[in-house]
Structure 1
């Protein structure tokens, strides 16, 4: 390496390390919500390079408020020594204003370990242990030979004897039995936790405690003792950081504690400590607010060399740590259920560079000041106000609403808003700026735009009351309990709302010009992560539809899952037509006679993939790796209709001999499907987009230089729409994936001659600022635009047939959801010319012959970054000459997707 290249390499390493510091900062600066998901962050550095933990210790060493932390060296140390040093460091550390941590459970266990009863007769050991424990509690050291206190005699002597002799014994007995209300929790905890078989003590704490003393513990399982100590240590942190309205100290702790563990190596206590923390978290099923950052030269937990093939896929480069962390979080629940021995590990390779010259460039991690409500004076004032104004009974419920960003107090200032809190998420519906769903900036922006347009519609209709007024509900999944700050989690939902916003503006302009055209108000409804609370929101919408006759339909319902199908059925029971832009699971329409689907069903997608693989790629086999998102595989096998019907469709199209499949999870070796071993086959990702990034990275790692042909299902478009998710993608991994709305992409509509797409281009430019310079348009924008316009076209048709006299105020009861549903079907017979293709429905309301395309992405990282980077069409189904002529889109040049396009 030349002298000139060293600084450049150091600068690159510093830039990557700076991103790690930012990620660590987001981990330790504790968000104001329940639960922790902090990994065992294992840094793997090269021998001879300075420890990266020295840099992190500098980052944590702020001048005023500091992150509670302690740096340990594992060299030549065992688990108990390391744990005791961590305890003393965190207890004694001055971290600038934050209350010191109290380790009551660990201190009790550690104190018992120091009790030596070797010289005490066996039949007297219990009494001696009780005496020492009682003296520890009263903070008095044993004093052999001390004279008894003087006895004044009389009643005063009796009272003194009772206070000094009897009362401590009674109190201690009540505490250890758990019979003293409000106290003794730590004693009960030891008898209820799972290590060292506490049931053998038959509910007697002293009997259990005696097993930790010398010499009794020599006959016990030493690993069980270590697990107990680690569990007690973590339990203390859980208690110290558990926020309750009546406990001030946890609210003042604004940063999670960290242990910097250096010298990690096979055989020393560092490896064992990290392994035990992983085991306790898995076996107890409880997380804790401790971030462990370890450094060593081998890859834990097995102590393998970084070059060992067995660690491929486990060890991530430093520049990919953010994506690896997101993938780790998404796969944690499954790994914990599987009790994997590395479920909590996040192994990161640190570049071989000396970062010391850049030390002072790194900004310190400074915990934010505690909220003012955590200050005693403010709390007293707040309690006084709450007691006076609302009453104590309101506090717990409203605190949940505040944390979930749910409207409180309820307002009667206008608008349609109804919310509730489920699993820390605000669910319900809103058409007003006083209630938004999600903290995703882009999703909030489009909601704000829709709600502003709702107010414009209200003002316009107040002047032109002879126009129809329609309310459509967008029903989707807009919140996620564990979304990272700044993480764009809802790209697909954002695109659908953008499409509705554009259609809403078009409706506003048309209603101003023609009294048969309806004004459109949009209500945004959120059913929580993966639509889990759809049933609750449907009940709210039932009340809305009853009280508000302008509600004529529902658009959205993302992800074909059992909960969504149940919601479709419930909405059908309300006679509300549901027009789904992207749902495609086969037989999902069986749930309702009011369901309409503008996307092709999964069997058509399977046909497109089969024809492309066999006719274009000339391959015989396909291997489908499927996932179910953030749900248990057993649950997904029952309830994920999209993934399972796509599996069925591929199996039926390819046949049993040519079709293989497996559920994919992190850590699965993909070497058997590399190009040199699966030459006559194609790899297909047939799961949820949330796992695609990790899957693609694993495939690139396992098949470096031998990457097979890769095709993704249409769920992958949600991944590609998320710029942040694509940034960690591997280089030179071509991807072909299925899309449903390619006709509405910028490069298609800019040259369009049909009226609908010309209007669409104007709307997305005016309302959304898309299709201008470096601002391409996502697939779901056009699909949601079509769904909304179909509803409005039906209402316009009905209104035009009513022949109401000019100037008469619109009567919303003249149009019902049922007549809208029937008219939508009439409008689409023989076909409705949408911006995403011809839309026509079969008897079950499923799109017939709807265009599907395969797009090629030569570089996943740059997809959609500019108009020139928009993926290009390489295949299509069906090949419809009439549609091709209408839209001016000749059949594509059917070809394979390569890194050249």
Structure 2
């Protein structure tokens, strides 16, 4: 018996034609047939073969219930080998869904049951919409609504993934393997051939186009219209089809039954469900290009434990055979489906429970009669129908040739043993080795690896001095001459290409330098040129700082190149990633490049005081390159591993100590609108952030020196999600002002929280230059909000008014150039309201001008191209100003205990008016060499 069962469900190899399997009837009492059914089920489970066990006391009351149970069990992960996709039943699911809608419509109750599932509620809503369309738009609105829902169902190609990670992976791989391996392999071969025959650019283009085509194919198969194509099968069926022109018309006919229907409509619906079930199985086992279909070597089995008169299993077996017989009769060629059915039957059971049925007929004979094929019924045809007798005879011959005259096998299991191990049975056919689920992907990877090797070998023919690498976070970091736009690929924080105009400008100026044939020096900018990948709102990317610094560098580059007859300036842009995450990695690239390219004389940037920034400074200090820090203010940022401070690092920004002293003085002495006595300090407590915690602590100490009777409450956050919590904690008791020492990334959350939770009218906020990036992108928004903002920017155009530099002083010409260029760049941006930071543009302009100023002096004195060591020696000459007329003030470097810093670096106090205009309230430090107006400043 077990041998027979194995041979019934074993799929023959390709060389053997597949034929319909006969029905296996197990004759005996219900207890014995139940044990055999359990044995069959366990055997299928041991082999992970598809099988569905229908118990004698099944809850299914109709054919649709049997099909639901069989579909659920056949698609389980236990019914297939590991890493193989599950059997899928899209046609049956659609037919069952249409039947559910039909039942709801026939019930006439628009309200779903109280305990109805979400799917049942959606079905009731859809039936209500189809039953009550808008007046005057009946047919079109019904078709539109039904089509929308069906397209959504067709779009969910992977909707029926089974539970478990392995099951999801295998189903997804099964979906992709029809397209991806072959497509990617072809693209790889074409790209490699193009790289070898033409050039690398053409290979990249060919690969991009090919992969885009593959991606479009994959995407298309997940669209609703593609999934709906499979449902056109229903229109070709003889069941419930009244010549419908399309599937939507057919579906509406099923969902919306007529008031009076023929008696056979329910029977036709059952036959349609069975036909859909058999067609789904047929497609799952169709031997075409799909590897998974070839890998299935066991036919699916439905095991009925015991059939009884009136049980739904009897009707199911009879319906399956009627559908098969009709398919064989109507088709031009034999129609095969892989379903195997076994059923337990008591030989003594009567054929029917109806007391008026003929006596003596057994159930087993009734089932046998259902699967029997006779050549003719024996009834004569009249003279009109005689012409069709021959065609009917030929059709019946085809059925007999395919099905046979009797299609049941009977096994008497009355003496089936009650226990013990089953005997050994000859093992069934194994899965062909060429259909292993990983084989297509292994071949694809092999072809792809070979193609990549070919392309890599050919890539050595090209100059690749500027290398860009993609990090684990999705950011692109590395060095470019402006030809590569960071953030343009959409993987670097949604930068919206706001860097593109300034990078294009730098690239154009660099090309002019190379075309000039003149000697040139190279300045490398190192900074965070991409936003945090977690930032989805492009208006909160806070790239105004890096954008402004690049604008400032490009202004000095053009000015220097236009004015210098024999020497030019080239600029390279190095992206260290958001928050300087990859500062040390990119710094190593700069160091290696500087060993090859001796025109590199300095590195500028380092705007953020973080551990990663200090690591980058340590790497570059070993290359003996002058390093100009634009905006970082942490005193110990240049500390090396030995504990000493790097002699190569020059700081343009005031130190945290100087900034905290001035901010505390202004807060305590009424420059914020009143003498503050209580202040809440908000700061970032991240250990990797060197700036925030240090500035907060220094401000607290300085404020208590100014106001010994004052109170400073410290509120820390370590993660951006904690900013609101820390701010609300500070709002629990009244304060005179807030001092924000956190990062600009969280400033929006901070001000939103104080507006909504503090309950104060126009709270005063004092902040450092770090928020200049936020101010640059949101000046009008800040002016119209319910708080008053003061901050200490590193530089501002408004500080160069006669009020501060004296009536006889001319304004810095940098700002007029900056505003002209910024307006032009805004016109080329997708978000023109996002302006580069003027403050950061001024300090980066000064950083570049410091290098070009000393390089010009070295070039004039030595009559040779300046080197990094010569520029460093000139910068350390404390007898002269490195830049007498900087955009942020007079720059003279002095050697301090923590490295080189600017003597009397200006510190500004600025505010934002209600119309968004910036206003300078105080200026301290050396903004101009002579004639500066004295401000309200603490003692130096």
Q: TM-score, normalised by structure 2?
A: 0.49
Which residue does the alignment assign to 1:779? 839
| Maintained 8 Å contact 1:453/1:505 | yes
Deviations 1:814-862 (A, max 9, x none): x321221121233773563211112222311122321111211244xx6
Give the 3-state SS of the residue equivalent to 2:650 in structure 1: strand
User: What whole-Å deviation, never above 9, does each CA across 1:425-477 have from its counterpart, x for those lacking one?
Assistant: 221101152564555322121111101110011112x1xx3xx4110001111
Pair 821,246 (structure 1): closer, same or farther in 2 beyond 3 Å: farther
- The aligned counterpart of 1:560 is 609
CA distance in 2, matches of 1:835, 1:615: 28
Provide closer, same or farther for how the CA distance between residues 781 and 746 of structure 1 changes in structure 2, counting only shifts above 3 A.
Answer: farther
Q: Which residue of 2 aligns with 1:433?
A: 483
Alignment-derived partner of residue 836 in structure 1: 888
**Structure 2: distance between partners of 1:255 and 1:625:** 52
Alpha-carbon contact 1:740-1:779 (below 8 Å) kept: yes
Aligned pairs (5 A) from 1:53-132: none
Note closer, same or farther for the CA distance 1:731–1:138 as it changes in structure 2 (3 Å cut): same
- Once the two structures are superposed, the pairs formed by residues 128-143 of structure 1 within 5 Å of their partners are 138=50, 140-142=52-54
- 1:446 is the counterpart of 2:513: no
Does 1:391 find its partner at 2:450? yes
CA contact (8 A) 1:454 1:522 kept: yes
Question: 1:613 and 2:525 equivalent?
Answer: no
Alignment check: 8 A CA contact 2:724 2:749 kept: no
Aligned to 1:490: 543
CA contact (8 A) 2:85 2:171 kept: no
CA 1:140–1:128 in structure 2 vs 1: closer, same or farther (change >3 Å)? closer
Distance 2:85 2:654 in 1: 63
Tell me, yes or no, if structure 1 residue 420 matches structure 2 residue 472.
no
Q: Which residue of 2 aligns with 1:734?
A: 788
Match of 1:817 among 855, 864, 868: 868
Inter-CA distance 183–507: structure 2 relative to 1 (3 Å threshold)? same
Alignment of 1:240-255 (within 5 A): 252-253=218-219
Matched, 1:531 2:580: yes
Change (3 A) 1:611 1:575: same
Structure 1, residues 557-598: CA drift from partner, whole Å, max 9, x if none? 221101100111111110011101101112213232100011
237 and 840 in structure 1: CA distance in 2 versus 1, 3 angstrom threshold: farther
1:547 aligns with 2:633: no
Q: Any unmatched runs of 5+ in structure 1?
A: 1-118, 147-170, 187-228, 259-381, 399-407, 628-632, 805-810, 864-868, 895-901
Cα distance in structure 2, aligned partners of 1:780 and 1:621? 31
Q: Does 1:477 align with 2:542?
A: no
Equivalent residue, structure 2, for 1:789: 849
Pair member with larger Rg: 2
**Contact persistence 1:496–1:783 (CA under 8 A):** yes
Aligned to 2:629: 580
Q: 2:656 matched to which residue of 1?
A: 602
Counterpart pick for 2:877 among 798, 801, 826: 826
The 1:235/1:739 distance shift into structure 2, 3 A limit, reads farther
Question: Is 1:770–1:776's contact at 8 Å kept on the other side of the alignment?
Answer: no
CA, structure 1 residues 242+840, in 2 after alignment: closer, same or farther (shift >3 Å)? farther
Q: Name the CA shift for 1:828/1:786 in 2 (closer, same or farther; >3 Å).
A: farther
Q: Distance in 1 between matches of 2:48 and 2:676?
A: 76
Superimposed CA distance per residue, residues 341-397 of structure 1 (whole angstroms, 9 cap, x where no aligned partner): xxxxxxxxxxxxxxxxxxxxxxxxxxxxxxxxxxxxxxxxx99999889725569x9
Q: 1:144 to 1:386 in 2, by over 3 A?
A: closer
The partner residue of 2:770 within 711, 715, 724 is 715
C-alpha separation between the residues in 1 aligned to 2:747 and 2:486? 29
1:134 Cα deviation after fit: 8.3
The yes-or-no answer on 1:499 pairing with 2:578 is: no
Q: Partners of 2:745 and 2:523 in 1: how far apart?
A: 29
> What is the aligned partner in structure 2 of residue 695 from structure 1?
750
CA distance in 1, matches of 2:168, 2:773: 38
> In structure 2, do the counterparts of structure 1 residues 599 and 389 end up closer, same or farther at CA, with 3 Å as the change threshold?
same
Q: Is the 8 A contact 2:542 2:744 kept in 1?
A: no
CA distance in 2, matches of 1:889, 1:510: 32
Does residue 182 (structure 1) correspond to residue 83 (structure 2)? The answer is yes
| RMSD over equivalenced CA pairs, Å | 5.1
Aligned CA distance change for structure 1 residues 729 and 144 (closer, same or farther; 3 Å)? farther
**DSSP 3-state at the match of 1:784:** helix
Aligned counterpart, 2:643: none
1:395-440 deviation per Cα after TM superposition (whole angstroms, max 9, x unaligned): 9x99xxxxxxxxx995866684112221122211011525645553
Shift of 1:706: 3.6
2:716 is the alignment partner of 1:663? yes
1:263-308 per-position Cα deviation (integer Å, ceiling 9, x unaligned): xxxxxxxxxxxxxxxxxxxxxxxxxxxxxxxxxxxxxxxxxxxxxx
3-state SS, counterpart of residue 550 of structure 2: helix
1:650 and 1:659 in contact (8 A); partners too: no
CA separation of 1:642/1:699 partners in 2, compared to 1, >3 Å: closer, same or farther? same
Distance 1:386 1:139 in 2: 35
Deviations 1:867-890 (A, max 9, x none): xx2x11123434x5xx46737556
* TM-score, scaled relative to structure 1: 0.51
Local SS of the residue matching 1:845: strand
Pick the aligned partner of 1:686 from 735, 741, 758. 741
Are the structure 2 counterparts of residues 125 and 588 from structure 1 closer, same or farther at C-alpha, using a change threshold of 3 Å? farther
| CA positional deviation for 1:644 | 2.1
Which of 881, 891, 894 is equivalent to 2:935?
891
2:533 and 2:174 mapped to 1: Cα distance?
17
Distance 1:127 1:385 in 2: 41
Do the aligned partners of 1:855 and 1:872 also contact (CA within 8 Å) in 2?
A: yes
1:546, CA displacement in angstroms?
Answer: 0.8
Could you say what secondary structure the match of 1:646 adopts? helix
Shift of 1:735: 0.9
Q: Distance in 1 between matches of 2:175 and 2:570?
A: 41
Q: Deviations over 1:185-213 (max 9, x none)?
A: 99xxxxxxxxxxxxxxxxxxxxxxxxxxx
SS at 2:676's partner residue? coil
Distance 1:257 1:747 in 2: 62
| Structure 1 residue 757 displacement after superposition | 2.0
- Residues 13-412 of structure 1 correspond to what in structure 2 (within 5 A)? 138=50, 140-142=52-54, 144=56, 182-183=83-84, 252-253=218-219, 391-392=450-451
Secondary structure at 1:737 match in 2: strand
Contact 1:495 1:780 in 2 (8 A): yes
Q: State whether residues 498 and 768 of structure 1, in contact with CA within 8 Å, keep that contact through their aligned partners in structure 2.
A: no
TM-superposed deviation, 1:703: 2.4
SS at match of 2:590: helix
Q: Which runs of 5+ in 2 are unaligned?
A: 1-30, 59-73, 88-159, 181-213, 225-440, 641-645
Q: Give the Cα separation in 1 of the matches to 2:807 and 2:161.
A: 66
